[in-house]
């Protein structure tokens, strides 16, 4: 039994005529008869009573018709579903991102995409770079954005954005009046760390070890949430180092102050990660093309070139 034989049977059963079925299937009447006969032979049953002027289903034919209807209804749903996905009238995009890009950059893109394609569902998972790379490797998302804290042979990466790291304190803090400090002043105050697994922590920790040794800072708090880190600094407790996008609003409003530290001039890099050779769905591909087009990231040109070359 094959799908062509089943389709010939189904069409004859629905029209009650081999001639009409041939017209609907754009094949000859003899071809329809051959398909039905082959199906009957493979199943070892008679599907139609051909003794009258009009063919009618046998009992076995009635049973097969009920199954065939379910099959072709499902087939129609599949065709309809993928036509909707092809035209972006239905679908889903799964994205993983570090909190910096996921909180301060991607919402703008998601809003823009949703206005143009309101029926496409977007699932955004947030975490630190280590966790985001795990999610991508587990195949839970179409693509993700994270710091390149290590390389993975199965993943391809494209640098899409660089973000400057700023040292910040409360506007009421003693250091706010100085604006430019040295290492001797830095070590006097508590430090707020981001959690392990973040690119920011990796960069800052390396710089501290090179310039202040492994014992600095002696007094610190470790926080997983960027917003929590900002709030505790705003309250006057110590200082932190954080991506510029995360504190731009607070600096502009005067709640936080950025301090220049001699010898500290660092950025964190964010990459687009995806499986090598991955076939990206129409919705995900359109999202990335729009993202490259609006130049939201500092290195959007890299994303545009990568898309032109194909995943």
Strands (E) in 171-210, as ranges, are 180-181, 191-194
Pick the CATH number of 164-268 from 3.90.1170.20, 3.30.1360.120, 3.40.190.290, 3.40.718.10: 3.40.190.290
Question: Quick one: pLDDT band at residue 180, thresholds 50, 70, 90?
Answer: confident
Higher pLDDT, 217 or 54: 217
Reduce the DSSP state of residue 23 to 3 states and report it: helix
Per-residue pLDDT reduced to its tens digit, 219-254:
999 988 888 999 999 999 999 999 999 999 999 999
Percentage of residues in the chain having pLDDT higher than 90: 67
Per-residue pLDDT reduced to its tens digit, 266-297:
999 999 999 887 777 889 989 999 999 998 99
Distance CA 1, CA 248 (A): 66
Question: Quick one: pLDDT band at residue 179, thresholds 50, 70, 90?
Answer: confident
Tokens coding 193: 């760390």
Distance CA 17, CA 303 (A): 57
Give domain 91-161+269-309's CATH architecture: 3-Layer(aba) Sandwich (3.40)
pLDDT score recorded for residue 311: 62
Per-residue pLDDT reduced to its tens digit, 5-62:
999 999 999 998 999 999 999 999 999 999 999 999 999 999 998 887 778 999 999 9
- Nearest partner of 207 among 229, 191, 226, 231, judged by Cα: 191
The CATH fold of domain 3-84: Arc Repressor Mutant, subunit A (1.10.10)
Distance CA 300, CA 293 (A): 8
Q: 117 near 93, Cβ under 8 Å?
A: no
In the predicted model, is pLDDT for residue 95 greater than 70?
A: yes
Model-wide pTM > 0.75: no
β-pair partners for 240 = 168, 192
Mean pLDDT over 178-194 rounds to 89
Tell me whether the CATH fold assigned to 3-84 matches the one assigned to 91-161+269-309: no
Q: What is the mean pLDDT of the chain?
A: 90
Distance CA 116, CA 304 (A): 20
Q: Which residues of 144-167 are buried (b: 16+ CB within 10 A; e: fewer)?
A: bbbbbbeeeeebbbbbbbebebbb
Tokens coding 150: 């290590």
pLDDT score recorded for residue 139: 87
Domain boundaries, the chain: 3-84, 91-161+269-309, 164-268
β-pair partners for 170 = 256
pLDDT score recorded for residue 1: 86
């Amino acid at each position: 039994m094959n799908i062509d034989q089943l389709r010939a049977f189904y069409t004859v059963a629905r029209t009650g005529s081999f001639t009409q079925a041939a017209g609907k299937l754009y094949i000859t009447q003899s071809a329809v008869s051959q398909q039905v006969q082959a199906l009957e032979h493979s199943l070892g049953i008679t599907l139609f009573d051909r003794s009258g002027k009009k063919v009618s289903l046998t009992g076995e034919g009635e049973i097969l018709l009920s199954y065939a209807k379910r099959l072709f209804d499902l087939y129609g749903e599949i065709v309809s579903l993928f036509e909707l996905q092809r035209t972006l009238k239905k679908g889903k995009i799964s994205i993983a991102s570090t909190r910096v890009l996921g909180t301060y950059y991607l919402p703008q893109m998601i809003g823009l995409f949703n206005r143009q394609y309101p029926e496409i569902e977007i699932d955004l998972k947030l975490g630190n770079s280590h966790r985001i790379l795990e999610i991508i490797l587990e195949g839970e998302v179409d693509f993700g954005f994270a710091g390149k804290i290590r390389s993975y042979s199965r993943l391809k990466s494209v640098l899409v954005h660089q973000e400057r790291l700023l040292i910040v304190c409360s506007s009421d803090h003693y250091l706010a009046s100085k604006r430019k400090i040295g290492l001797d002043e830095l070590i006097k105050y508590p430090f707020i760390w981001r959690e392990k697994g973040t690119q920011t922590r990796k960069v800052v920790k390396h710089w501290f070890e090179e310039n202040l040794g492994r014992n600095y800072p002696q007094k610190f708090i470790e926080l997983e949430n960027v917003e929590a880190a900002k709030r505790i600094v705003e309250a006057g407790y110590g200082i932190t180092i954080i991506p510029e996008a995360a504190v731009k609003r607070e600096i502009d409003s005067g709640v936080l102050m950025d301090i220049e530290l001699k010898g500290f001039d660092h950025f964190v890099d964010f990459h687009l990660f995806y499986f090598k050779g991955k076939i990206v769905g129409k919705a995900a591909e359109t999202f990335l093309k729009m993202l490259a087009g609006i130049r939201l990231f500092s290195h959007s040109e890299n994303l545009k070139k990568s898309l032109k070359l194909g995943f």
